[in-house]
Amino acid sequence: MDWDISIILIVIALGFLAAFIDAVVGGGGLISIPTLLAIGLPPSIALGTNKLASVFGTMTSAIRFIRARKVDLAIVGKLLPFVFIFSIIGSSLATFLPADLLKPIVIVILTIVLIYTLIRKDWGGIRTFNKLTLGKAILFTALISIIGFYDGFLGGGTGSFLLFILLMFGFDFLSAAGNAKVLNFGSNLGALLLFICLGHVDYFIGIIMALSMIAGSYVGAMFAINKGVGYVKVLFVVVTAILILKNAYDYITQTF
């Protein structure tokens, strides 16, 4: 397929914006996937190409959060294999099961996440995380694995779900964002490997978007670190609300 300069510039601009948002609270796929579909990529190729670009974006923001000491490496290092493996499983199932099966559930859960965050006004302002008991560690691992599976199977809202789980276990918004990026990198990488095996990646567009996402992720992570917890929380609420509306609109239009 021939690509003219205007399409390439659109991919660069919207890839940067998607990565900027995704670096902080996730939800970048709301911008990047529709962009890839709009320029003419088939849905399966758009998803695979988005994963290629997202791997570089999440890796960049994860490194920046790690350097700012906002990542608990001892914890996420143990969880990475789980999100990686379960993302591959989710992607495998997505090749022959309709992903829309999960959308009603996703809408309900995202709504609960949003309402809970708004009600708990002081939630995520201060880090209260301590060592996990065996029971909590098992629950934590199970929830993160489920989100890894979801990222491979459907994907939209993965960042919001990761943030919410980390907040539930006592992380503040900024450290939750940093840990979420490392975990999201693992789930993106797992899904990408499967898409590569299936031949569902446009490398030319994917690399162009990846380069813009590297820049957007770096700027977004720096902005979050400098602005602090309050900024992250506001963006989290906004992006989660948009995710709910987007998923609800897609579900209604496809069902009726």
Q: Summarize pLDDT for 82-136 with one digit per residue, the tens.
A: 999 999 998 888 777 666 666 787 788 888 888 887 887 776 677 788 787 889 8
How many structural domains are present in the chain? 1
d(CA 150, CA 109): 13
For CA atoms 4, 9, 10, 16, the dihedral sign is: positive
Below-50 pLDDT ranges, the chain: none
Say what the pLDDT of residue 127 is: 79
What's the pLDDT score for residue 99? 60
The pLDDT value given to residue 153:
82
pTM: 0.86
The DSSP call for residue 120 is -
The 10 Å Cβ neighbour count of residue 103 is 18
173, with CB counted inside 10 A (0-12, 13-18, 19+), is: buried
- CA 168 vs. chain centroid, Å, equals 18
- Domain region containing 35: 5-255
SS3 201: coil
User: Quick one: pLDDT at residue 238?
Assistant: 86
CA–CA separation, 88 and 241 (whole Å): 28
Residue 1 confidence (pLDDT)? 56
Q: Please give the Cα distance from 87 to 186 (Å, whole number).
A: 8
